């Protein structure tokens, strides 16, 4: 699937790394966001690992294979991205609220309340 699309995958990985860096830079240093720091680091690590393989080898080296269930071959970077994405989805659905991500807004946040 999507073989010989090195530029596409490297571009997507680079965009993901920039977005993750932006979110980590804007994220408050609060205990509530510690798990999100870890999840984003796992996604960034997986994206960077696969991107390095694509740049160096023109393909990703997959080396883990389960013969018993005939599951597709994968690597550690794939595990990082998959597990982190699952945890991120659970966090978004059950842990964080909408207003927990206001720090990502491009709107200018008011620091003082207006009095009438």
Of residues 78, 92, 77, 93, the one with CA closest to residue 33: 92
Residue 91: both structure tokens together: 């966090």
Helices 34-57 and 76-90: crossing angle in degrees, nearest 10, is 150
Question: Facing residues of 64 across strands?
Answer: 74
Active site residue: 29, 62, 98, 100, which one?
Answer: 62
Establish whether 78 is a catalytic residue: yes
Q: Is 58 a catalytic residue?
A: no
Kindly name the residue from 29, 30, 58, 78 that is annotated as catalytic: 78
Q: Where are the alpha helices (DSSP H) in 2-114?
A: 6-26, 34-57, 76-90
Catalytically active residues, by annotation: 62, 78
């Amino acid at each position: 699937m999507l073989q010989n699309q090195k530029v596409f995958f490297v571009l997507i990985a680079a965009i993901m790394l920039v977005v993750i860096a932006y979110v980590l830079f804007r994220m408050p240093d609060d205990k509530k966001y510690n798990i999100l720091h870890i999840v984003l680091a796992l996604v960034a690590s997986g994206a960077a690992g696969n991107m390095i393989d694509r740049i160096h080898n023109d393909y990703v080296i997959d080396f883990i294979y389960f013969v018993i269930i005939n599951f597709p071959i994968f690597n550690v970077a794939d595990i990082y991205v998959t597990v982190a994405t699952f945890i991120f989805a659970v966090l978004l659905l059950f842990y964080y609220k909408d207003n927990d991500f206001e720090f990502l807004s491009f709107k200018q946040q008011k620091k003082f309340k207006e009095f009438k």
